[in-house]
Structure 1
């Protein structure tokens, strides 16, 4: 969406007092209506129902100035999630900063797939590679309280966000580890499910210069070898960390499903599948550690 920031109110033209309803109607014309409401909710620290019930509530000069600044930053393309500092994911509200990817609906599909593979009455062990904000690990831990989840990320700043989210969600069955994929796991450690939303965009991909991707951390987006380096590392080493019949589940690019299935098959996985998102695009693929694996699953 292209927004003309020239249509936003100048500081000198701000009339005080201005009400909630007036701010939404007069100031946010060039912003998506729902986004404008989210941002005002953030400024006022209220929920959506409050805006409806208190449309005549006057904004203080500070609130008005902060809302106008937020609108201008959004008009310049900055993601709403970074402006408000939070994003809804699955059934949670998570803290989000520019140090982490903004959780997306495709990743909710990965979580749904993982939850279907984890029995609620079993003490399963789950590994989340490249946890970022902790969205995957924390949602799984919340819905499978008997599971023990290990969440790994190379970025210390991302892990700080993930730890804050775990604390906010009162989740105590997630262990956070800083490291590069499997590098810092305990020797001989095995898991029932490995999940990952790794970088899978090729260097120089034109999408990186568009939309929210312009503001998100490159480390979490881009992979070498035409977007395949991280996926290949995760798949080829996974079986050394999986119990027999354990599952490896990955999110990938819109055009990577077929090659991902082929790589899973070559690495000895069985029961290989892909799942489509709401747009009918294959975005999640996985396989089970089988008896004919190239690595021994115990």
Structure 2
């Protein structure tokens, strides 16, 4: 198997997991699993797997640096609480639009605010497309007496902001993918779990054990561990832009699949939002320039 073929294989695994994240996060609402509970399960399970490995390898020194702690606050606790909460109030299509569509935008904004990294012409074009699609979506929603932005959508936007800050900070750290993944999981557990146990409501006894097992294994193992590693391996073989574009497509596909799988509805406003935000996030015009398909 060639390196390129391996790259597409890793992309396929990552896309499947990222697409499943949208569907299974939305299922939390139907299975009555709260955002507080699934966040605790996700971090606790990942840490139980990672910590023994780090101790066995005598590879724990990096945990005492400030970078994993800061990354955990934004890419761990902040992102998970906002996104899991959002899926309790808004359908999968809204997650694709307001979360995955806005992540590239907020990543660029965070890079500018934190490091004065200017927008390139691709991001300016994406910004225009996104604003036009959101404006058109809002107009179509108001025509049918729907609110343009609900609580779930606002939480998706906040989650995109958390992930944008996390991504920008991650680019400036010297942590490997393994250390970044392990540090975020373990410090998120250390920060969040005491707060969860003392202050937050718990409804685990009201949930089917099978549903808890499915969600726990998927979010704690597949999302945190497997998808991170396959994403990094895909980048090594295909480049950052091509890999990022392909895996970003997964949530938009999941939004369409949620119609038959979760019995969610699509209307012209949501379709416009999906198309516009998808184009803005994927930047398909760059695929026609050979020099843009590498590691950019």
* TM-score, length of structure 2 as denominator length: 0.24
User: Larger Rg: 1 or 2?
Assistant: 1
| Between structures 1 and 2, the one with greater strand share | 1
TM-score, scaled relative to structure 1: 0.24
The structure whose residues are more often helix, as a share, is 2
**Larger RCO (CA within 8 A; separation ≥ 6):** 2
